[in-house]
Amino acid sequence: MAHRVCAGVLTAVCACVLAGACEQQPGGSPAGTQPPATSQPPATKQPTQQPASRPGQPNQRDRIAEVVAKAIDKTHGGATLRTRSNLQCDVSLQAGGDSLQGKLTMQINGLGVRLDLADGSSMVFDGTTCWVAPSTSSIPAGAAVQRLLTWRSLIASPFMAGDSHVRTSFYRSAMVMGADVDGVNIEWRFGDHMPAQTLIGYSDSRKHEMSVIAGEALAGLLGLPTGDKAVHSVVFTDLKDFEGVSLPTTWWLYDWTESAGVRGDRLGTVTISNVRYPRVDEVVFTAPNGARRDRESPASP
């Protein structure tokens, strides 16, 4: 079966890696297509099925996944980002009856991340220990570190090629929300702090811009409901440049399956704004006053 491989600067590399394993097809609809502003996404074609690797070529699609990840990183300015110490931005989430507003601060070359919410509560992870303040916060024991690492990983998803806590594998081509995309498996690996999560990252196959992160594992990771209204995909839109680093500033939340793709009505929206790069001496990742450890149950009011 013939399969379309990535276009542009990746074509020669992909053709070399997949020589004898798949042939190139003409491209489909124009790349860079963004979903409409309606709540209903356009129909999504089923992702291309991939043949088993030939003997002696067990890692060919893993090698292409690495190439794709590096192209995304370059497009979004990963090398520039990694010269900075921290990234800080305002985040806003609206999903049904759930809402969140706050300021997120994260280390660029480490795991430190904190989220200071508009209601005065905070979640802080220093890379080893996570705290929740106040100690009476209703956030369940063990949930804060997963939420913080999910926010951190979604914001950093275009830069997975330079992230030691992300493993990419198994390239495939697909069409998602009307656009030709390159898909790769993404595994978030944070040791004992969070169970490994396997997702799929889709990027525009011509511009190499991060488009979608999807997977069953996303359900509940941002503190949103599970079940019928669970979020299984994040669609990235509205790219903006912040001093040489390109970040999606609007995220649309949808259901998703690998066979049907992004589907159903929009479940929520995240906006990112006021992006800046604080110096090391401008931020701290230490326990707030009156905090409890994340693994402890909430204290009585």
Residue 94 lies in a domain: yes
Identify the pLDDT of residue 275: 98
Q: Burial code of 33-44, b = ≥16 C-beta within 10 A, e = fewer?
A: bbbeeeeebeeb
Per-residue confidence in pLDDT tens, the chain, 301 aa: 333 334 444 554 454 444 444 333 333 333 344 444 445 555 445 444 444 444 445 489 999 999 999 999 999 999 999 999 999 999 999 998 899 999 999 999 999 999 999 999 999 999 999 999 999 999 999 999 999 999 999 999 999 999 999 999 999 999 898 889 999 999 999 988 998 999 999 999 999 999 999 999 999 889 898 888 899 999 999 999 999 999 999 999 999 998 889 999 999 999 999 999 999 999 999 999 999 999 999 987 7
pLDDT at 39: 54
The answer to whether residue 42 is domain-embedded is: no
Domain enclosing residue 268, as ranges? 78-111+163-280
All residues at 6 or more sequence positions from 136 whose CB lies less than 8 Å from its CB, including other chains: 298, 299, 300, 301
Q: Which two tokens stand for residue 68?
A: 């794709």
Amino acid in position 213: I
pLDDT score recorded for residue 153 = 96
Strand locations in 72-165 (E): 86-95, 98-107, 113-117, 122-125, 130-133
pLDDT for res 227: 87
- As a whole number of angstroms, the longest Cα–Cα distance in the chain is 66
Residue 206: inside a domain, yes or no?
Answer: yes
Give Cα 66 to chain centroid, integer Å: 16
Q: Is residue 139 part of a domain?
A: no
- The type of residue at 180 is D
Tokens coding 79? 């090398």
Which candidate, 149, 148, 188, 143, places its Cα nearest to that of 165? Answer: 188
pLDDT at residue 14 in the model: 52
- The reply to whether 299 falls in a domain is no
pLDDT of residue 79: 97
- Counted residue by residue, the chain has a size of 301
Beta bridge partners of 186: 168, 199
Q: Is residue 208 part of a domain?
A: yes
Give the chain's domain count: 1
pLDDT recorded at residue 178: 87
**Whole-angstrom Cα distance, residue 19 to residue 117?**
51
Q: What whole-number distance in Å separates Cα of residue 283 and Cα of residue 279?
A: 7
Task: Flag whether 18 is in a domain.
Answer: no
171: phi > 0 → left, psi -120 to 50 → alpha, else beta; which? beta
What count of Cα atoms within 13 Å lies in the side-chain half-sphere of residue 78? 20
CA distances from residue 204 to 28, 36, 196, 281 in whole angstroms, order as listed: 12, 16, 26, 37
- Whether residue 91 is contained in a domain is answered as yes
Do 160 and 69 form a contact (C-beta atoms < 8 A)? yes
* CA–CA gap between residue 60 and residue 63 (Å, rounded): 5
Q: Which residue reads 């230490």 in tokens?
A: 286
* pLDDT (0 to 100) of residue 56: 45
